Chain A
Amino acid sequence: MTDKYLEFNDLDALIVRELSRLPAFEPSRGFSRRVMAQVRLPEPKAVVLLRRAHAWALQPRRALALAGAYAACAVVALGIAVPWVVQHSASLSYGAGLAADKTLASARELGMALAGWVWTSRSWDALRSIPVLREHLVPFLALLSAAYAGAGVALHRLMKNPEGKRVPVAR
């Protein structure tokens, strides 16, 4: 090794040069994945605000205040709306009648178009030709009713206030 570097008179320059040439070491595979698994990525601001609002409203006193404010707003809105409706009842009933007439006319046109289509395309005949037996229809309806009831129960459980250990902790 000594002979190889005889041409370098300035050892300091050689050391500095070789230091800058030292290779960079690389961590093992999966290093960045392991790091990223432990990094808390910031949530979007809307989610953070919603979570804070939810945590804030979870306290009974605040929930009561919110409900009170909601009721007060409703009373105020009614207090403003009812006199206004009474005052403008004539023009309102005329507008409502006009809107109802237009809606009925549109519905009638749509019904006529649908009936025409069913008649000309013979869809009704095709529907009647499906061999549905009474013994098939009853279990199908029973199953449908059970699924509907199950969905209702699931929705009820989902909407129920959390209790015990499932109550989220406000941070």
Chain B
Amino acid sequence: MPTAKDLPSLSDQEVVALARAGKETGYRELLRRYERPVFSLIYRMVRDRAAAEDLAQETFIKVLNALDSYRPEYRFSSWIFKIANNAAIDQLRRREVDTLSLDGAPNARTADEIEATAVQATDRGPSPLADLESRELGSAIEQAIAKLRPEYRACILLRHVEGRAYEEIAETLDLPLGTVKTYIHRARLELRESLGHLKGD
């Protein structure tokens, strides 16, 4: 049985086996390995720190409580990124619905009802993401990523930020390999258009 010192050198599959055997250190190691990549992916997808933290927490609880159902023939990273991406996409869909209700509940009839049920949007000041965006090129790229469609965004983040292989992205997002390549190609085209002003004429 591997000890705590061996943990960093173990593969994901071995750490999962350790966790399945009831070792708490296995759970902590999986959390340590993936908390930053998973949180970063979700944060860049939803662009809201509090929501990203809730979704990352939800993802880890779901994954760590269902380790028995994990099949070792698949990559652990694909599994956890799939759950994280699905959580982010669901959040974006919910947010689209919520955006409609900013002007008041749909069943509000009178002016008073509309005013009473309307959500007051307030400026909460600069977020950490906004801080980052204040830095020249990094900020331009973050803004350009934010403008991409969610599926393009997930593909480009997994490929170029997380450094995942095309096959793994296809596995993660349940998409055919060709579709993943197309999405990444189109995402890069859109990024080129958005960042065209960086190129010298």
Contacts and interface: CB of A to CB of B under 8 A. Distances in A.
A41 B27 contact: yes
B143 to A, nearest CB: 12
Closest 7 A/B residue pairs (Cβ) = A19-B160, A6-B200, A24-B36, A42-B22, A25-B40, A39-B64, A35-B60
A26 B138 CA distance: 17
Contacts of B197: 2
A37 to B, nearest CB: 9
Interface of B: 20-22, 24, 27-28, 31-32, 35-37, 39-40, 43-44, 52-53, 56-57, 60-61, 64-65, 128-129, 132, 136-138, 140-142, 156, 160-161, 163, 188, 191-192, 195-200
12 contacts: A2-B197, A2-B198, A15-B195, A16-B160, A18-B138, A26-B35, A26-B36, A35-B64, A38-B61, A39-B65, A41-B27, A43-B22
A125 to B, nearest CB: 58
B195 A39 contact: no
Contact of A22 (B21, B52, B138): B138
A165 interface: no
A28 interface: yes
A69 B156 CA distance: 67
Contacts of B195: 11, 15
**Most chain A Cβ neighbours within 10 Å, of B192, B195, B200:** B200
Contact of A25 (B43, B61, B192, B200): B43
B22 A44 contact: yes
A121 B57 CA distance: 70
Interface string A127-142: 0000000000000000
A54 B191 CA distance: 62
A36 interface: yes
A34 B57 contact: yes
**Most chain A Cβ neighbours within 10 Å, of B65, B128, B132, B199:** B199
Given A22-B161, A25-B39, A31-B56, A15 B141 contact: yes
B141 A18 contact: yes
Given A12-B188, A35-B64, A27 B35 contact: yes
Given A6-B200, A11-B196, A19 B141 contact: yes
